Structure 1
Amino acid sequence: MLSNWKLLLEDRNRFFWVLQVAGWSGYALVHYIGSLMHEMRDIYALILLLGAYAGFLLTVPLRYLYRKIWDVSPWLLILIVLAASYLSAALWAVIDNATYWEIYKFGFTPDSKWFYFKNTIAKFYIMLSWSGLYFGIKYYQMLQDEKQKALVATSMAHQAQLKMLRYQLNPHFLFNTLNAISTLILVEENELANRMMSKLSLFLRFSLDNEPIKKIPLEREIDALMLYLDIEKVRFDDRLKVTLDIEEDVKQALVPSLFLQPLIENSVKYAIAKLEEGGEIIISAQRNDDDLVIVVADNGPGSTKPLDSLSTQGGVGLANTRERLQALYGRNYSFTLTANTPRGLRIEIRIPLEQVEQA
């Protein structure tokens, strides 16, 4: 039912004819109800129907006239509308009087010499009301069109922003990975170099295949992260340890694609790479009421900057993730940084829990 109404509103021509028929039918019905005490109401009903039909036909040319003069100056538009409404009313009054005369013959006598003029003026108000409704509906439709265009433009800008943020792949990651592959080839570790290249290819393919404006199951996000971490493990060997703690009931929760990768990259760069003995990255996810809570923690040296300002001034990775979350969820998210125990940095992200729809 709603879709039928939507189709009707979108088809402006059909919408006009529906309103035209409904409006003039309502005009005839209201006048008939008011004439129920008329002693010749059956004949009078016929007169009302013919009058409404005449009004229906006379207002159709007005529609095409108003289309032609739509872009003229306001004062000229008002003058043309007044003139067209009066001429249509006068013609309608002539037709109405002819109908009275034809049906009543010599039984109809005007109650005063101003009868025809007053009839014309009454019909002028009706025509003027029709014109006002026409322009009101047209201006409303134009306003809705402008709002729709503004929404489309905002949506396109929003998508462009998300794509820009999403495709800000850290060039250091690609440089370090390709450099590591080159080194492995030089030392004739061809099998390891080939495995690393395969992981990089899969990671980049995943990155290109998943639109930044769409969300993916958390399970797929973790799989992509493990591709990235497997690449880094080739560089760091046993110095990089990864621990996953993902609750089963949130594995199908929807998250922005690769939104955790910049955070993991920060942990590798500022935590693992700074420690000779290496370190550990812990990724956990759980449900908290209607929210999904994801934590990325490391046991690195932590930050020398104040944690309150780190999320906005702590480099591209943190700012990028925060901006993407804000673009996608507005104010309905949280992004907090705290010191990890016994050392390191802890990032907690809280977003609305959205589950993948089961087919």
Structure 2
Amino acid sequence: MTPDPASPPPPAPSQPTIEPSPAWSGNALFWWLHAGGWGGVFLVNYFSALANGKPAEYWTVLLAVATTGFLGTLGLRYLLRACADRSPVRVAMLMIVPVLVIAAAMALAYKLVTDLDWCRQCLPFTRFGYFTYTISQLYVLVGWTSLYLVMTTWRKLRMQTEAALAATAMAHQAQLKMLRYQLNPHFLFNTLNAISTLVLDRDNATANRMVQGLSAFLRHSLDNDPMQRVTLKQELDAIGLYLDIEKTRFADRLRVEVEIEPACWSALLPSLLLQPLVENAIKYAVARRVEGGTIGLRAAREGERLLLSVLDDGPGWPALDHGGAPPDTAPRGNRVGLANTRDRLRVLYGERQRFDIRNREEGGFIVTMTLPFEAGGAPRE
């Protein structure tokens, strides 16, 4: 049981727009952090000054200094944003002069307020005090700059992570859709040929029944969301539509046996997972033999696992009896359906699934799939 080449994959799905996170430096969060930070600096310095014997009027000096720092670092923000594409070392070098200028401006604000006699008792004891005050503000400015760089770097990394996750999800969905839409053109070709033959033979009733069956199957396969899982009952109903078409072609040469444990009818699986395997069996175990053949569909539950099997009583795959290669290294006409089904399971379930193929001892070929047993609604793949 091996598949024919699949039809070309459908056009790539349109990519959803990735909405980036809003820039923390341009929204309310920045202003809360910025204002709260400088407000905290003001309060810490004021209470520290009171504890060291400064007069209550010292708040005027500290308010002027904090306001200068507040406005100065706003300008520093635009410089940092302009240097966003540079290396961290270059950014640090470029920020040295602006930080020194803002620190000097804060010391100047300190001197102007004290010179206006608003707080004569706040004057430093020596001129060197102004210099030490300027140096002390460098700690605050370097801390502000470092925090800004850390947060902007974190934001960039988060956006890159979100974009990578979105791209991975889109690739995952595109792969599932491509695998799901790989319908074998030979099925349509053979069915239309059979309908044409029936029309030429004036067997209009059979031809009409075959057209209706083909229409129902195509409507089900194309209207169904390829990202949706279905219950085993729904899957077998869809396979029934397909087999009705093939039974019109092969009549009594095609025999189907279904063995499903009652607990498995509500189990979930990818839609139209079994169709390419059934089509394989028909091509290699039924169509090529005068006496036709039997196809079996089985489902059983083993603990938390669902076991699905598609088997036939045809000639099997001789290469497997001689240590043959797996499906994806076989000739192209022998690999698409098996590889398609195996890849769908691998993308959806990862290491939680198994896909096995072998020849049966009593003759024929069998594909066995082991999936996690899930029942209930139909969550998206």
Shorter-chain TM-score bucket reads 0.7 to 0.9
Aligned equivalents of 2:357, 2:154: Cα separation in 1: 48
Corresponding residue for 1:342? 362
Contact residue 50 and residue 56 of structure 2 kept, 8 A = no
The 5-angstrom pairing of residues 261-300 of structure 1 reads 261-300=275-314
* Cα shift at 1:99: 4.9
**Structure 1 unaligned regions, length at least 5:** 1-6
Change (3 A) 1:60 1:280: same
SS of equivalent to 1:305: helix
* Cα shift at 1:248: 4.1
Change (3 A) 1:282 1:32: farther
**Residue 106, structure 1, aligned to residue 126, structure 2:** no
Corresponding residue for 1:323? 343
Number of corresponding residues:
353
1:128 to 142, 156, 159: 142
* Per-residue deviation, residues 88-128 of structure 1 (Å, max 9, x unmatched): 12212222444566687232342443221121122123212
SS of equivalent to 1:306: helix
Bigger RCO (CA 8 Å, 6+ sep) = 2
Corresponding residue for 2:8? none
SS of equivalent to 1:287: strand
**Residue 167, structure 1, aligned to residue 197, structure 2:** no
Q: Which has the higher helix share?
A: 1
Change (3 A) 1:24 1:293: farther
Change (3 A) 1:179 1:90: same
Contact residue 353 and residue 372 of structure 2 kept, 8 A = yes
**Structure 2 unaligned regions, length at least 5:** 1-18
Change (3 A) 1:28 1:291: farther
* Per-residue deviation, residues 248-271 of structure 1 (Å, max 9, x unmatched): 444343322212111111111111
Bigger drift between 200-209 and 282-291 goes to 282-291
Change (3 A) 1:185 1:137: same
SS of equivalent to 1:283: strand
**Residue 232, structure 1, aligned to residue 246, structure 2:** yes
Aligned equivalents of 1:320, 1:237: Cα separation in 2: 29
Aligned equivalents of 1:293, 1:352: Cα separation in 2: 9
Change (3 A) 1:228 1:121: same
Corresponding residue for 2:319? 305
1:185 to 199, 202, 223: 199
Aligned equivalents of 2:57, 2:124: Cα separation in 1: 17
Change (3 A) 1:35 1:115: closer
2:158 to 141, 144, 148: 144
* Cα shift at 1:62: 1.8
Corresponding residue for 2:101? 87
Corresponding residue for 1:16? 30
1:212 to 226, 243, 249: 226
The 5-angstrom pairing of residues 61-76 of structure 1 reads 61-71=75-85
TM-score (norm 1): 0.84
* Cα shift at 1:36: 7.4
Change (3 A) 1:83 1:231: same
Aligned equivalents of 1:336, 1:20: Cα separation in 2: 61
SS of equivalent to 1:276: coil
Computed over aligned residues only, the root mean square deviation of the Cα atoms, in angstroms, reads 3.2
Contact residue 57 and residue 119 of structure 2 kept, 8 A = no
TM-score (norm 2): 0.80
* Cα shift at 1:9: 6.0
* Cα shift at 1:49: 6.0
Change (3 A) 1:292 1:184: same
**Residue 194, structure 1, aligned to residue 208, structure 2:** yes
Aligned equivalents of 1:205, 1:84: Cα separation in 2: 68
* Cα shift at 1:56: 2.9
Change (3 A) 1:57 1:263: same
Aligned equivalents of 1:358, 1:156: Cα separation in 2: 20
Corresponding residue for 2:352? 332
Aligned equivalents of 1:222, 1:310: Cα separation in 2: 27
Contact residue 62 and residue 84 of structure 1 kept, 8 A = yes
Identity of aligned residues (%): 43
Contact residue 274 and residue 300 of structure 1 kept, 8 A = no
Bigger drift between 200-209 and 31-40 goes to 31-40
Q: In structure 1, what residue type is equivalent to 2:315?
A: P
Change (3 A) 1:111 1:41: closer
Aligned equivalents of 1:248, 1:53: Cα separation in 2: 76
